[in-house]
Amino acid sequence: MINKLTIRTPNDMHVHFRDNDLLSLVVPQTDRYFNYCIVMPNLIPPITNQEMAIRYLNRIKKHIKKGLKPLMTFYLNEKIKIDDMIKAYKNKNIFALKLYPKGATTNSEMGVKNLENIFKILSSMEENNIPLLIHGEDTDKNIDIFDREKSFIDKYLFKIIREFPNLRIVLEHITTSDAVHFVKENKNIAATITPHHLASNRNDMLVGGIRPHLYCLPILKRRNHQEALIKIATSGNKKFFLGTDSAPHDIKLKENDCGCAGVFNTVNSIEILTQIFDQQNSLKNLENFVSNNSANFYNLQQNESTITLIKMDMPINFPKSLKKNNVILKIYKPNFPVFWKIKK
């Protein structure tokens, strides 16, 4: 039985820091235990040019003490100027571009409505080896919300990889066995998986009452899809890695008649993942999932620092929320006990 585990410092390849007052509350949580992180651009207004990306990074840096390395992104839409994009990438002011289908999630109203309108941008990204990060959901109102990911793959993702076979693509926060199969079978594409999609399914959200703090997009799926995610994440497969999609919203925006989508899991994500990998007898693959695979896919230097986790005799009691002034962020909690604790 393994009771102590030391791994390379993890990377979070998909995190939402939001802006303004929330930055000071959430950035230090990622700074605690992560090295690289890819920062989402769906602010109001979204990050669409180099100047905006630099200003946002400077706001984030004010709350970093341990050396977190934020990797910035552009919000991909038809207004992106290709020359500015290339310059920003070559200057290392951005790391990738994020594609949100219009209306897919929080602050996505300026996202892509017609895929072919961005083909010129995608062609330039392919030519300059700029990664494309995709929120893979079909937002057609006729598509059932639980089928949006599969529909996007069938209708759009096959077309993207056919038109741009050398474009580096990451299908973000995958939720279905269909996405697992697609990523495994196609080259130049990887996927991130969140802690909450590994730890929870739609029964956790809906049975016995609606739990708004489990509402996220893509939405939690059936147990068989959850099991497919667990199997591939814990397998050691190099094409899959951690992106927490930690997405904070003030409790007032979650607990109302039209609650926002998003799960805030940064505080305990590594401990939850360690518990899941332990349950699957796959602790040997944890470091690959949380650190090595993402660095290899993105051609980043492997982290030299480490963290150590200790297995406790009693379950960990995590804080229920983070608070600052009038803002309260509810912290994600799985439906099983977590015994692993990061040694400070």
Are the beta carbons of 11 and 295 closer than 8 angstroms? yes
Element housing 171 (H / E): strand 169-171
Pick from 293, 286, 251, 288: nearest CA to 269: 286
Choosing from 12, 31, 138, 245, the catalytic residue is: 245
Are the beta carbons of 331 and 322 closer than 8 angstroms? yes
Are the beta carbons of 61 and 100 closer than 8 angstroms? no
By three-state DSSP, how is residue 337 classified?
A: coil
DSSP state for residue 117 in the 8-state scheme: G
Helices and strands of the chain, counted as H and E runs: 14, 14
Are the beta carbons of 54 and 31 closer than 8 angstroms? no
Q: In this structure, how many other beta carbons lie within 10 angstroms of the beta carbon of residue 210?
A: 10
* Token pair of 281 as six digits: 């007898």
Q: What span, in angstroms and rounded, lies between the C-alpha atoms of 305 and 295?
A: 14
Are the beta carbons of 17 and 61 closer than 8 angstroms? no
Active site residue 21: no
For 62-98, what is the HEC assignment? Answer: CCCCCCCEEECEEEECCCCCHHHHHHHHHCCCCCEEE
| Tokens 């080896």, residue located | 129
3-state helix, strand, coil in the chain (%, to 5): 40, 15, 45
Are the beta carbons of 223 and 175 closer than 8 angstroms? no
Are the beta carbons of 44 and 83 closer than 8 angstroms? no
Strands 189-193 and 69-71: unpaired
Which of the residues are catalytic?
Answer: 245
